[in-house]
Amino acid sequence: MPQALNSAKFKIRARPHTHCGDCAIRRLALFHGVPADQLEWTQGFRSAQLDILSKHNLMDEGETPESLYTLYRGWALVYKTLPNGKRQILRIALPGDLLGYQMDMVGPSDVTIRTLTPAIACAFPRAKFWEYLDSHPELMRSLNRMNAYYMSVCQHYLMGIGRKSALERVGFLLMDLWSRGRDLGEIIGFSEQDGLEFPLSQEDMGDAIGISSVHVNRTLREMREDGLIELDSRHLKVLDETTLSEIAHFDTALATSRYSIFS
């Protein structure tokens, strides 16, 4: 099974499985609700655990994947592309995030999913997805809450792109990632001393918040000059969270609500 996915196209390599029972991010992921004594089942449902190289697509818009995934390590971008080549990043995925769930779990993917760093993903076969969830009602409920959370995040970004200035949007993006980074801690390379490993390019940032990379650059400079952040060589530190949150209209409720996805 891993071999089937180990195609040149995806640059996916099989690797030894870790055990769901030992999973460090289970508290964050869909399978949080599964009792420890049933994790064998989850592990059986999981079809593969995959290493993915940096800058490779886990899924392509318009192509039909066989699996959906929980991101176990690393960063990934979820985006759509317009015929003219413009790209809109819809979501920035970090460990624990569910990837590839959509309304139509039979047809082609709505989105492209691409790693920003080396990553590890746990694959689950689409074909058995509903079957598995039907036999685990608590997961069905978790999936609902998880999607409601993703929806809420999407709406915050919609609000930002529609009605905020470039400064506010960049601030929001940074605070969102900073706050999620803190939650994940060492799993994602965050520490209070050293800040956060931050693999987004300025172009990525622009595509996430609807501005050009050049303007992202100028906005970041402004923030640096105001002593709000440090950001260089893919390394972020937010120096003044309070001010940045205010500027960005960053709602801390969004951050705290992450904790309560899995009641």
Partner DNA sequence: CGCTGAGTTGATGACAATCAACTCGGGTGG
Partner DNA sequence: CCACCCGAGTTGATTGTCATCAACTCAGCG
Q: Which of 241, 240, 234 is nearest to 255 (CA)?
A: 241
Query: What does the binding site for its own copies look like in residue numbers (CB under 8 A)?
Result: 80, 82-83, 86-88, 90, 101-104, 110-111, 130, 133-134, 137, 140-141, 143-145, 147-152, 154-155, 157-159, 161-164, 207, 209-210, 249, 257, 260-261
Handedness of CA 138, 144, 150, 152 (dihedral sign): negative
Closest contact distance (angstroms) between CB of 236 and its own copies is 22
Is 118 or 210 the residue whose CB approaches its own copies more closely? 210
214 binds DNA (CB under 7 A): yes
Q: Which residue pairs, CB below 8 angstroms and at least 24 apart, start in 242-249?
A: 244/171, 244/174, 244/175, 245/171, 245/175, 247/167, 247/168, 247/171, 248/164, 248/168, 248/169, 248/170, 248/171, 248/172, 248/174, 248/175, 249/164, 249/168, 249/172
167 binds DNA (CB under 7 A): yes
Binding site partner of 201, from DNA, its own copies, none, Cβ cut-off 5-8 A by kind: DNA
217 binds DNA (CB under 7 A): yes
Q: How many residues does the chain have?
A: 263
13 binds DNA (CB under 7 A): no
Binding-site ranges for DNA (CB under 7 A): 165-167, 201-203, 206, 210-215, 217-218, 220-221, 232, 234
